[in-house]
Structure 1
Amino acid sequence: MGSRYLRCSMVLVLVLSGCRSEVPPEPPRPVLVDTAPAQAGAGALALAGEIRAREEAALSFRVGGQLVRRLVDAGDRVHAGQVLAELDPADLAQQARATRAQAAAAEAELARARSEHARYQALAAGQLVSRSALEAQATALRAAEEQARAARAQAAVAGNQSGYAQLRAPADGVIATREAEAGQVVAAGQTIYRFAGDGAREVAIALPEARASAFVIDQPVEVELWARPGVRMAGRIREISPAADPQSRTYAARVELESAAGEVSLGQSARVHLAAGDAGHRSVPLSAVQRGEDGSPRVWIVADGVARPVAVTLGGYGESRVAVLSGLPADALVIAAGGHLLRDGQPVVPVDRDNAPVEPVQPKPATDAAP
């Protein structure tokens, strides 16, 4: 009876095992992958700028007066020492003559004081005057000497000021702008011309406050003229202002053009392409970055047809991308979105934004092992 029951059980097991069907494998899930160039720096930035001369100056008279002659105009080339404008010299000449007359009077008074002092010295030697009278004459002589010295200095200043009626070019260059007209009464220090010296040309730009700390002196950049799109010239950041502009909240900076002084003109518009500290590192979309269980950043990649999370070190954040400094295998297909819905080892099919399949690439190590 027992053996018969055992044979029936075995037959039942064989029948049930023949009826059981295998569980179908999980179908691969389509995932959107990042197809941007591998070296597209997240910190890349393009700023508008203007071609300027390194040596710029606001030219003005040292004295005030009426502008009677304007000898050059905006755009004219000038040479060092060339007269650019003249003031009415009449008042300055009169002032120079007046100070020379005052100096002559002071010299005459000094001669009289010396003569009186010498006479009192002779009288004091014969005890015909008191010592106090002699000391008074000595004091008067010293006062006359100081007054004569002051008068001579004033005469020299007035003579110099008469020469200040002519505004001269400080060096070879070009007149960038003109800001006064003949007949106008100008004050001392009021700008008459803006002068741009010959030599190096630069691009004046404004760095945004939020990213100014990512740029450093001597950082290489590329300059593209609006008039010559697609042609980029090498440059470097020469100067960054230590303080932000109170109105625009930007930091003024100057970009030096390395070898293009003859290819650009003052006032031209340009676009400066910068990489904010993370140039040369791969970047990924912001949506590709997830947080691991320990809170560290990670991204999902496609490896051998399955999804794998990798821990990464991030760099500077851009508007839509973030630089990955380390941890990301070279040439890996990065899953651009939906990483929070994936699990490690899940089969996936990489597709682009047009839902077209993307050929998987076997990931390579981020750094080669030492031999």
Structure 2
Amino acid sequence: MRVTEQQRPASPAEIRRWRQYLADERAEATVYRDLAGRRDGEEKEILLALAEAEGRHEAHWRRLLGDQVGQPRRGAVRTRFLGFLARRFGSVFVLALAQRAEARSPYDADADATDTMAADERIHEEVVRGLAARGRQRLAGTFRAAVFGINDGLVSNLALVLGIGATGVPTTTILFTGIAGLLAGALSMGAGEYVSVRSQRELLEASTPNPASRSVLSHLDLAANELTLVYRAQGMSPEKAEFHAREALRTVAIATGPVDVKQTGGLSPAVDEHEAIGTGLGAATSSFCFFASGAILPVLPYLFGLEGMAAIIVAAVLVGLALLATGAIVGLLSGGPPLRRAFRQLVIGFGAAGVTYLLGLLFGTSVG
């Protein structure tokens, strides 16, 4: 049975807990207001509404505490960290962290919180998930390319360097092999992205209606109405195609200016799709840089003169830290546990490099 709004005697432990809840609600409201300050339009309104809801929760704990509110306390460390990020960045990372924070609400199991407050926190999680999803969608392509490129560079070049190093060849050979692997992989990634994006743009261009076709709409036979074939070719049913075609021709017949692109739906150019996929050169450059930034790490110990097992250990540590970082970032953005994602990335990367290292040892032994 949850509490009602009336006052009742409270134990020292309850007062401490309520004071902490009060501080946390105040800190969370500040986070949402700070995020709202970096946005506009609908997103700003939603974030301010979340801050207002946290204010209602704050008022609940104030009522329970009465004259025992005491001195203002600081919110939980993770909430204060969220506030720090919100004031300086206001990015999708902050929203992803806020989503996880809302999911950890203790109100479901606390009898001193009302059912409404517990329900609010559950709904807040979904609201923040929706806001974070918008940001994830905006950076999905770039983020995928960045994570894929960096991790590919880290794992493939570490495997190459360890595999060659395990055979017992001179350090200079390992160094130049690593540099060659960096350049070959980065160029391959860049060329692959360029071809992929260019091919996608060419496919879109082939599917984009010819602008000249729109200029002849007013001359079509209203009885035959061959415009229906355009809509049927795009997958509409005959009835729906007939309706859209007649509406388009009716609009053209009464128009005094240029043809309304929205009204002629199937004959409008697919400009947005072209902009969404970017340019081939931009994708190639990004992929080259992402791969190279990961592939350089296994080579750094050899560039600075380390040899043998010392170079291998340093290379493995550098790559391991980078894999942990990229895995944690993936976890944050996906709303999953960052540590679990980080260690998953580490195990996969080291597993691939370890197999190559063992093969290098076997090859070096058999040659020797």
TM-score in terms of structure 1 length: 0.22
Q: Which structure dedicates a bigger proportion of its chain to helix? A: 2
Structure number, greater radius of gyration? 1
For normalisation by structure 2, the TM-score amounts to 0.22
Structure number with the higher strand fraction is: 1
